[in-house]
Chains A and B, each alone.
Chain A
Amino acid sequence: AQSVTQLDSQVPVFEEAPVELRCNYSSSVSVYLFWYVQYPNQGLQLLLKYLSGSTLVESINGFEAEFNKSQTSFHLRKPSVHISDTAEYFCAVSGMDSSYKLIFGSGTRLLVRP
């Protein structure tokens, strides 16, 4: 079984500042890792995912996340945030032994202020 911990329920940050949203997971098997984003009044959409290979993965809008197996972490970072990045971000994990199941963290609300 897998579990995901997002310790920060809300992260306020000023526009153009860097941000890191933390995600830690636990699993008895190897995993795939995902970050989903939920903009206000919308459903979730995939931001990026780690499946294999390079431990650093990037999204098209400047976010990146690094898979750290020894620390069982998959933190999400952006060097300079925009107002439009205000959203809720969910980390999710899927075990390689699972055909479909995604386990979601509790979410982190990123609030970007001007």
Chain B
Amino acid sequence: DVKVTQSSRYLVKRTGEKVFLECVQDMDHENMFWYRQDPGLGLRLIYFSYDVKMKEKGDIPEGYSVSREKKERFSLILESASTNQTSMYLCASSLGGGDSTDTQYFGPGTRLTVL
């Protein structure tokens, strides 16, 4: 079974702090994703990575950056956290190869609260 793990289930940070959210997958997947999930809005893509050191902006990249130094690990960085970034953050991975039929496998999520 594919396993996607996220470093924290719950996180509380203060406005202006730098925040790191980490995601690890164990199935040698090419693609990794960061989404945020908000009530009534579903999931919105923040960033996508299709290979080590490769990334593409999603629909809502403002205020976020990402890092993928190893194939299995994808980090989401909030350079200066703000209260409007309070949300549930979901990481996902998929096999890759440019195929949009791929199943995405999700981690359990990190609920981030910015005070």
A positions within 8 Å CB-CB of B? 4, 6, 9, 32, 36, 41-46, 49, 51, 90, 94-96, 98-102, 104-107
Q: Are B48 and A100 closer than 8 Å at their CB atoms?
A: yes
What CA separation (Å) do A42 and B25 show in the bound complex?
A: 16
Most buried by A among B33, B42, B94, B106: B42
Q: Are A32 and B101 closer than 8 Å at their CB atoms?
A: yes
What CA separation (Å) do A28 and B96 show in the bound complex?
A: 24
**Residue of chain B at shortest CB distance from A93:** B100
B50 on interface, CB distance cutoff 8 Å:
yes
B103 on interface, CB distance cutoff 8 Å:
yes
Q: Which single member of A9, A96, A98, A102 contacts B104 (CB below 8 Å)? A: A102
Chain B interface, number of residues (Cβ within 8 angstroms)? 27
- Shortest distance between the CB of B55 and any CB in chain A (Å): 12
Q: Are A49 and B42 closer than 8 Å at their CB atoms?
A: no
Chain B window 79-95, contacts with chain A (Cβ cutoff 8 Å), 1 for yes, 0 for no: 00000000000101010
Give 10 pairs: A residue, B residue, CB < 8 Å, sorted on A.
A43-B92, A43-B107, A43-B109, A44-B92, A44-B104, A45-B105, A99-B100, A100-B96, A102-B100, A107-B42
Q: Are B100 and A95 closer than 8 Å at their CB atoms?
A: yes
Given A32-B101, A99-B99, A100-B48 in contact, is the A105-B42 Cβ separation under 8 Å? yes
Residues of B within 8 A of A100 (CB): 31, 33, 48, 50, 94, 96, 98, 100, 102
Q: Are A106 and B90 closer than 8 Å at their CB atoms?
A: no
**Residue of chain A at shortest CB distance from B4:** A43
